[in-house]
Amino acid sequence: MELYVVKSGDTVHQIARRYSTPADGIISANQLQNPDVLSAGQALIIPTDENRRTVRPGDTLYSIARRYGVSLPRLIAANPQVTDPNRIYPGQTVVIPADGRQTREIIVNGYVTDAADSTLSAALPYLTFLSPFSYRSDMAGNLIPTFHLNLTLSGGYRMANLLTLTNLLEGGGFSGQIAHAILTDQAVQDTFLENVEALLRQGGWYGVNVDFEYVYQFDRESYNQFLRRLTDRMHQLGYLVVTALAPKLSEGQQGLLYEAHDYAAHGQTVDYVVLMTYEWGYTYGPAMAVAPLDKVRQVLDYATRAIPAGKILMGVPNYGYDWTLPFAQGTAARSLSNIEAAALAGRVGAGIQYDQAAQSPFFRYYDADGRQHEVWFEDARSLRAKYGLVNEYGLAGVSFWNLNKLFRTNFILLESMFSVEKVL
């Protein structure tokens, strides 16, 4: 695999000839919506492995992986032209990864709030855990489903499902009042835990992922005590516990999002923590990178002093935003996938720039009404820089928010740098 940054005048076929690789492979690996239109500054993944096998009757990707001694996710990553890993046909050509070096094994979690089965199936080989935003609680400790996951999707991918528990309101937004009731009212907490156990007994779950946000500052110690009780109970039943934490820069950081999230207590209590290292650039804020590397590094500097690095999953965004300029308080940016962002740059003829401090791509353009826009998103360069932090800080792995939209480049890059730990 190579990473190439498009220059003005480049075409897919010229790039393919330069690397002696099929143009179709480049188009598929990068999900190019219009292969005839590339943007200067656009980062492309170039599949370059040369060992190939022609599919024979009875072959599956799994049987080919075993025959050649490569992992199934690695084989899938090398063959982005295979859109459904469960279906290959005689006569197809399958690339066998030639690089057999040992890569570090990491934990990979992915959140999802809504996704087609085909999108999830494409992601599952690269996940240790899938955390669907599955249940929210009410003031009485009842659990209400928010997203139905087809648990049979995991199939032979040895991917484990985590029951994600939130304090979301029915109409959206996190509720400090709901969290307060669960954390401080013994009867409500008992009901909540009994409902969690009832769901786990239905099967298909490996553990729980607690995402309580905007918890009141005065509930900080109650939250810590709740997590100790929950973790003790889950461990006795043989389940894993993961929590999601706001991206703090210091222990005493002020703000409703941060104050009740006690890094040291979570690190001592639960199995893994997800650091939500994204949303510096957000829907109602000014235009900037969603997860600027310099800001992420600041969070990790603090987090690794408070939490064992081997318990930390660094959050990685799988989306971008399109802001209308100039920014005005109360206006909203439009969320878009990384694929949509790159395609938009091509449609409007915008060159893609790369911010070195943030290690993130962006571009500006004018719409039909003459309004200027600024778009920040993720590409192969920004993801490679983020994955480098995993090794630098010795983290357990990464966690994606979210996997609703397929970004194939991400998985190809991930598999080129790491092996994914499987717990099943």
pLDDT confidence of residue 83: 84
pLDDT confidence of residue 12: 97
181 contacts 157 by C-beta, under 8 angstroms:
no
pLDDT confidence of residue 155: 62
Residue bearing the bigger pLDDT, 96 or 382 = 382
Residue 153 has pLDDT above 70, yes or no: no
Residue 94 has pLDDT above 90, yes or no: no
Domain spanning 105-322+380-420, CATH class: alpha beta
Name which of 31, 94, 25 is nearest 59 in CA terms: 94
Tokens of 277: 């290292």
Phi, psi of 412 (to 5 degrees): -60, -45
Average pLDDT over residues 334-349: 98
Residue 100 has pLDDT above 70, yes or no: no
pLDDT confidence of residue 114: 87
- Contacts of residue 172, defined as CB under 8 A and 6 or more positions apart, other chains included, come to none
CA 22-24-28 angle, 5° bins: 130
pTM of the predicted model as reported, rounded to 2 decimal places: 0.89
Which of 60-64, 83-87, 208-212 holds the top average pLDDT? 208-212
- Is residue 155 packed enough to be buried (19+ CB in 10 Å), middle (13-18) or exposed (0-12)? exposed
Average pLDDT over residues 92-108: 78
Tokens of 398: 């990464």
Q: What residues does each domain of the chain span?
A: 2-95, 105-322+380-420
Domain spanning 2-95, CATH class: alpha beta
Q: Catalytic residue at 213?
A: yes
DSSP state, residue 125: G
Name which of 289, 318, 341 is nearest 407 in CA terms: 318
Catalytic residue among 50, 213, 221, 421: 213
Cα torsion at 105, 274, 310, 390 (round to 10°)?
60
pLDDT confidence of residue 107: 98
State the DSSP H helix or E strand holding residue 333, giving kind and residue range, or none if neither. none
337 contacts 319 by C-beta, under 8 angstroms:
yes
Name which of 310, 314, 312, 274 is nearest 293 in CA terms: 314
CA 81 to chain CA mean position, Å: 22
16-57 residue pLDDT tens:
999 888 999 999 999 999 999 999 999 999 987 556 778 888
- Contacts of residue 17, defined as CB under 8 A and 6 or more positions apart, other chains included, come to none
Residue 101 has pLDDT above 60, yes or no: no
Q: How far apart are CA 192 and CA 186, in angstroms?
A: 10
CA 130-135-137 angle, 5° bins: 145
Phi, psi of 316 (to 5 degrees): -130, 125
Name which of 197, 211, 230, 130 is nearest 168 in CA terms: 211
Average pLDDT over residues 264-275: 98
pLDDT confidence band for 313 (50 / 70 / 90): very high
Residue 97 has pLDDT above 90, yes or no: no
Helix (H, G, I), strand (E, B) or coil at 179: helix
pLDDT confidence of residue 222: 98
2-95 and 105-322+380-420 agree in CATH topology? no
pLDDT confidence of residue 85: 86
Counting every residue written for the chain, the total comes to 424
pLDDT confidence of residue 38: 97
Mean pLDDT of all residues in the chain? 93
121-138 residue pLDDT tens:
889 999 999 999 989 999
CA end-to-end distance (rounded Å), the chain: 29
pLDDT confidence band for 78 (50 / 70 / 90): confident
